[in-house]
Amino acid sequence: MKHYEVIDAHAGAAVSGAEELAYEVLVGLSSTPKRLPSRYFYDDAGSALFARIMRLPEYYPTDCEREILETSGAEISATMERPFNLVDLGAGDGDKTLILLRDLVARDVDVVYVPIDISEGAMQGLVARIREELPTLQVQGLVGEYAQGVRWLAANREERANLILFLGSNVGNFDMPSARGFLGRLWAHMRLDDRLVVGFDLKKDIEKLLAAYNDSEGVTAQFNLNLLHRINRELGADFQVSGFRHYGTYDVKSGAMKSYLVSLERQEVRVEALERSFVFDPWEPIHTEYSYKYLRSDVDQLADDSGFVVVARHEDRQGWFMDDVWKPRRSPKLGT
């Protein structure tokens, strides 16, 4: 039996995946300042680089969240009536979720694990690891974007309640209107007895933030630059990747870590799929990622604005990271 399904997000859609990337590159590199969306980081190579980032000593969010799940994981899953699905949005290598899964399997809880990830390579690795470590666990993985996860929830609404994980401060990669929009869409597809666990990276010493996004081994730089390799490969572009450098900076006003690729010289890059070139001036940046950092009061506001009530809040000892458990706020009149 195959334990995951590859969903073609573009089946029957007006544009293919390659056309969508081409469109984003056209719009982003024609803008001033230039930009590219961070969701394109996660091809198989990018997902593998992100797995390395999570093991770096400077990248504190993973260790903080691991501590939270080790301390409070059983309490988080105890918020669910049984049986339930554990839906993991952006599961990646599933390393942290395995903390919850080991506990659930040890307690013989009737749970189906539904990891959703954009990278098929990451999904293969995750499913193989689960087959090896937790062979009795039911797994139904989906290779697709968050939107397919939301669609899966809608299609499986009658079956069981869902504990939805949106860990790792993935929400921080959305700007604020998009965060409200995405969480609101989840809200609309959730049952009243579903629960959502959202990981938030909290505002902290700026030096810690800068170190986490400018690591000494240069893995974050490779992760950012991989976007150019991907565009070269998938759109027939000729980026000289060594002509760009990674730059991560913190904007205190918006609370965002911002990542850029900065052109080191004047260069012209041809993108064959678009039949056009883009000129980069020396030191011209391409903005590639936001990683928003939150105050606890920002999180309260976001929960309220996207239709949720905070039912529990779990922090690591240092107060650097927070996993919030939310339930949808709405009357059963709207449907269960």
What's the length of the chain?
A: 336
Smallest distance from the beta carbon of 281 to ligand AVI, in angstroms? Answer: 25
Does 291 bind ligand AVI (CB under 6 A)? Our answer is yes
Q: Which of 140, 173, 226, 288 binds ligand AVI (CB under 6 A)?
A: 173
Smallest distance from the beta carbon of 135 to ligand AVI, in angstroms? Answer: 29
Element holding 257 (H helix, E strand): strand 256-263
Amino acid at 77: S
Does 226 bind ligand AVI (CB under 6 A)? Our answer is no
Does 222 bind ligand AVI (CB under 6 A)? Our answer is no
Q: Which is nearer to ligand AVI, 54 or 104 (CB)?
A: 54
Does 172 bind ligand AVI (CB under 6 A)? Our answer is yes
* Interface mask toward ligand AVI for 179-218; x: CB under 6 A: ----------------------------------x-----
Rounded to whole angstroms, the Cα distance separating 169 from 200 reads: 5
Handedness of CA 53, 85, 155, 157 (dihedral sign): negative
Smallest distance from the beta carbon of 249 to ligand AVI, in angstroms? Answer: 12
The CB-side HSE value for 40 (13 A sphere, CA atoms) comes to: 26
- Number of neighbours of residue 6 by Cβ within 10 angstroms: 12
Dihedral, CA atoms, 153, 155, 160, 162, nearest 10 degrees? 0
Does 53 bind ligand AVI (CB under 6 A)? Our answer is yes
Rounded to whole angstroms, the Cα distance separating 57 from 193 reads: 38
Smallest distance from the beta carbon of 172 to ligand AVI, in angstroms? Answer: 5
Q: Footprint of ligand AVI on this chain (CB under 6 A)?
A: 53, 61, 168-170, 172-173, 213, 220, 289, 291
